[in-house]
Amino acid sequence: MSETLHIIGGGMAGSEAAWQAAQAGIPVVIHEMRPQVGTFAHQTGDLAEMVCSNSFRSDDHEQNAVGLLHWEMRQAGGLLMEMADRHQLPAGGALAVDRDAFSLGVTERLRAHPLVSVEAGEITELPTDGHWIIATGPLTSGNLAQAIRAETGAESLAFFDAIAPIVYFDSIDMSKAWFQSRYDKGETEAEQKAYLNCPMDRDQYEAFIDALLAADKTEFHEGETAGYFDGCLPIEVMAERGRETLRHGPMKPVGLTNPHQPDVKAHAIVQLRRDNALGTLWNIVGFQTKMKYGAQTAVFKSIPGLENASFARLGGIHRNTFINSPTLLDDQMRLKSRPNIRFAGQITGVEGYVESAAMGLLAARLAVAEMQGRTLPALPNTTATGALVTHITGGAEAKTFQPMNVNFGLFPPVEGLKGGRRGRKDRYKAYTDRAKADWAAWLAA
Ligand SMILES: Cc1cc2nc3c(=O)[nH]c(=O)nc-3n(C[C@H](O)[C@H](O)[C@H](O)COP(=O)(O)OP(=O)(O)OC[C@H]3O[C@@H](n4cnc5c(N)ncnc54)[C@H](O)[C@@H]3O)c2cc1C
């Protein structure tokens, strides 16, 4: 009798993981707590339930990173993509689905598979032996979250995210911005120039505060508590507390000299910090926000130096259980302190249905290889799946780790291509061509 792979959580990641392992000949048990134990967002007892929107986002596999992730999962025989394609609804370039038919389709296929069984019930402890994948998602039950916390330490498991907007480096106007850490702090030149600074004069600052106060905001979903703490208040809430609050907080203008205008003292300064090892992504420090996406783009583009900014992701604050993967997981997605346990899905710090399913697909393939005594070749970070897993298991800054969507900023640049907006179409096509060739080669190996 072959060994069994146990998967906790039959959501996006767990369902895809189960399918991949079973198709490779490994018996699988999915441990799913619904319907016995519910969450505030799930409505059914079905597997792979879409808790909010019914969209898998763009299906453009030539110009869009999430579309490329669809393509990679289709090539790998992904069940979620097969069901999404079967239950697709008209949505322009996006892949929207009939949510009930989709999750029912996934549930029926998995329950009908001779190697898959589903055990109903909440898992409350970390397993001590056997092969396991934890894919319990953003709403991991409280008991299991406590068990994970006890293993990883309180600082390594978050219950809310606080996402600051992330900007592509090549869209920042460096004739206005400059590299400098406050008071040139740091031993090395790299540390002394670790931040990008965007200066504002008084009028620009006042207009910025007005725009923040007037912007449309999103509410927390029903059932989410507004449990954010003073350390990560949304910027608009800071602005509501007083017009000068931001100038004494994330926008303080001290310890920095603008080399473009050394004699002019800035009234406020917005700082960006490197978000990945490649240096292609920069987050706006302290700018977590509940502003609506449209409002965010308009408000942030009023910052000098960011007028033409392209955003890899916009800011947000959500109820979201996730671990500090860069410190806790190895490159096989195993918990370093207990290598019989892998993590997959949103709890690893990726965000979205598609990204979560992709991490389920990969975790299962890695587990299967290990259980069969094989080692898979390293997954190139030139693929969408590889770029994501590389980011969460090491490419991201561990200290400021926050959930990430797939985007081209996670990919190593293709040499010899024009940067900026004008070269974007050719650049993205080059990324996706390279990814497809590398993904096909990895699957074949
Ligand atoms: C309110 C809300 C709205 C969202 N809206 C969107 C959106 O519009 N688009 C989008 O792409 N993403 C959205 N997300 C994120 C979305 O949840 C994830 O992208 C995706 O569902 C994550 O997949 P997953 O498999 O990691 O987790 P899930 O799909 O949540 O699956 C986890 C599963 O684990 C089960 N489980 C939890 N704890 C235990 C336990 N101890 N024992 C056994 N089973 C357990 C849960 O019941 C669940 O079925 C939203 C999240 C929330 C909370």
Beta strand ranges found along 306-368 (DSSP E): 311-313, 316-323, 334-335, 338-343
If one residue of 30, 51, 123, 159 were mutated to test the ligand 1 pocket, choosing by the most ligand atoms within 8 A of its CB, it would be 51
C-beta separation of 395 from 276 below 8 A? yes
- Quick one: which atom of ligand 1 is closest to the CA of 136? 34
- The tens digit of pLDDT for each residue in 92-120 reads 888 999 999 999 999 999 999 999 999 99
Query: Annotation-wise, does 13 bind a ligand?
Result: yes
- The tens digit of pLDDT for each residue in 60-99 reads 999 999 999 999 999 999 999 999 999 999 888 889 999 9
Beta strand ranges found along 135-206 (DSSP E): 157-163, 166-168, 178-179, 195-200
In terms of pLDDT, which residue wins out, 113 or 155? 113
How much distance in Å is there from the Cα of 117 to the middle of ligand 1?
Answer: 20
Query: Annotation-wise, does 11 bind a ligand?
Result: yes
How much distance in Å is there from the Cα of 421 to the middle of ligand 1?
Answer: 35
How much distance in Å is there from the Cα of 366 to the middle of ligand 1?
Answer: 22
Residue 230 has pLDDT above 80, yes or no: no
Query: Annotation-wise, does 142 bind a ligand?
Result: no
If one residue of 139, 159, 342, 388 were mutated to test the ligand 1 pocket, choosing by the most ligand atoms within 8 A of its CB, it would be 139
- Quick one: which atom of ligand 1 is closest to the CA of 221? 1
CA distances for 345 relative to 79, 238, 422, 426, angstroms: 15, 32, 35, 31
Residues having CB within 6 Å of any atom of ligand 1: 8-14, 31-34, 39, 41-42, 51-53, 122-123, 135-141, 144, 221, 319, 345-347, 352-353, 356
The chain-wide mean pLDDT, for the chain, equals: 94
C-beta separation of 410 from 281 below 8 A? yes
What is the C-alpha end-to-end distance of the chain, expressed in Å? 26
Query: Alpha helix locations (H) across 3-135?
Result: 12-23, 65-75, 79-86, 99-112
Helix or strand (DSSP H, E) at 132: strand 131-134
The whole-angstrom separation of Cα 180 and Cα 168 is: 18
- Percent of the chain residues past pLDDT 90, beyond the cut: 83
What is the layout of strands, in order, in the sheet containing 281-284? 178-179, 195-200, 268-274, 281-284, 166-168, 311-313
Mean pLDDT of 24-52: 96
Domain boundaries, the chain: 5-163+319-444, 166-314
Name the residue with the closest Cα to ligand 1, atom 15.
352
How much distance in Å is there from the Cα of 26 to the middle of ligand 1?
Answer: 25
Query: Alpha helix locations (H) across 251-337?
Result: 293-300, 325-328
Q: For the structural domain made of 166-314, what CATH number should be given?
A: 2.40.30
The whole-angstrom separation of Cα 168 and Cα 221 is: 29
Give, in words, the CATH class of 5-163+319-444. Answer: alpha beta
In terms of pLDDT, which residue wins out, 396 or 328? 328
How much distance in Å is there from the Cα of 261 to the middle of ligand 1?
Answer: 49
| Residue where the block lists tokens 């190895």 | 330
The whole-angstrom separation of Cα 371 and Cα 5 is: 9
Name the residue with the closest Cα to ligand 1, atom 1.
41
How much distance in Å is there from the Cα of 34 to the middle of ligand 1?
Answer: 12
CA distances for 256 relative to 123, 197, 244, angstroms: 51, 8, 19
pLDDT for residue 223 = 61
